[in-house]
Structure formats: structure tokens, C-alpha cells
């Protein structure tokens, strides 16, 4: 069975600082990995996805993630965060018919 683990439930950070949100996955087969973001009172939207090819994936709003097969990780990074990045971030893995989400990491950016 496939699953994802988000190690941090909350990450507080000051504006313009770098941030890394951690995600580890388990799967016995090839994986397709995703990061979604949920802004307050909104639905989820896709930040970026890894399907194949380059292990460094760039997404919207300056976010990027690196697929590391040996570490079974897909950590999300941004070199300099803004107040507007405050949101809940979900890592997800896909099997043939559904997305399986992690428990989410709340990123709180302070001025």
C-alpha cells in the first residue's frame, strides 16, 4: 500500500526566510508525487508534481521539490517565503485511481 508521511504538523517561519516542508512516502511500485496547497477557506490546488524525469521539480509561486528515491522523500522548498504563503500544504501520492494525502503541514509566515 502507498502512503505519505508529513513529519511536521506546523512550521513557523519569518518572512523572506527559506523553508522546507518534509514529506516521505512508502510504495512498492513507481510513484507519482504531488504537493497541494490549501489557502484559508479554499479548496486544494496543485503546487507541483513529479511524474518522471528530472528529480528537481519547479511549481507555482516559487516553490520547488526534489524527488529522492534512496531517501523516499519529496521535500518542498522555497528560498524566500512571503506572508501570502501562509497556508496548509499537503503531500500526496497517486495510485491508479486516487490520490492519497498526508496529514498536512501548516506553514505560518510571520512579518
Partner 1 sequence: DSGVTQTPKHLITATGQRVTLRCSPRSGDLSVYWYQQSLDQGLQFLIQYYNGEERAKGNILERFSAQQFPDLHSELNLSSLELGDSALYFCASSPHQLSNTGELFFGEGSRLTVL
61 DSSP assignment? G
Minimum Å distance from CB 85 to partner 1? 19
Residues 7-66 that bind partner 1 (CB under 8 A): 32, 34, 41-46, 49, 51
**Rg of the chain (C-alpha set):** 13
Characterize 19-52 residue by residue with b for buried, 16 or more Cβ atoms within 10 angstroms of its Cβ, and e for exposed.
bebbbbbebeeebbbbbbbeeeeeebeebbbbee
Minimum Å distance from CB 111 to partner 1? 27
Minimum Å distance from CB 78 to partner 1? 20
Query: By CB under 8 A, is residue 103 in contact with partner 1?
Result: yes
Residue closer to partner 1 by CB (options 5, 15) is 5
At 101, is the secondary structure helix, strand, or coil? strand
Interface residues with partner 1 (CB under 8 A) are: 32, 34, 41-46, 49, 51, 90, 94-104
Amino acid at each position: 500500500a502507498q502512503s505519505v508521511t508529513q513529519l511536521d504538523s506546523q512550521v513557523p517561519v519569518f518572512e523572506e526566510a527559506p523553508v522546507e516542508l518534509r514529506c516521505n512516502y512508502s510504495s512498492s511500485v513507481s510513484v507519482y508525487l504531488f504537493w497541494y496547497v490549501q489557502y484559508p477557506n479554499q479548496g486544494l490546488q496543485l503546487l507541483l508534481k513529479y511524474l518522471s524525469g528530472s528529480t528537481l521539480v519547479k511549481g507555482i509561486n516559487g516553490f520547488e521539490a526534489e524527488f529522492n528515491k534512496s531517501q523516499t522523500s519529496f521535500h518542498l522548498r522555497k528560498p524566500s517565503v512571503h506572508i501570502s504563503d501562509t497556508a496548509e500544504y499537503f503531500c500526496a501520492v497517486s495510485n491508479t485511481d486516487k490520490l492519497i494525502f498526508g496529514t498536512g503541514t501548516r506553514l505560518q509566515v510571520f512579518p
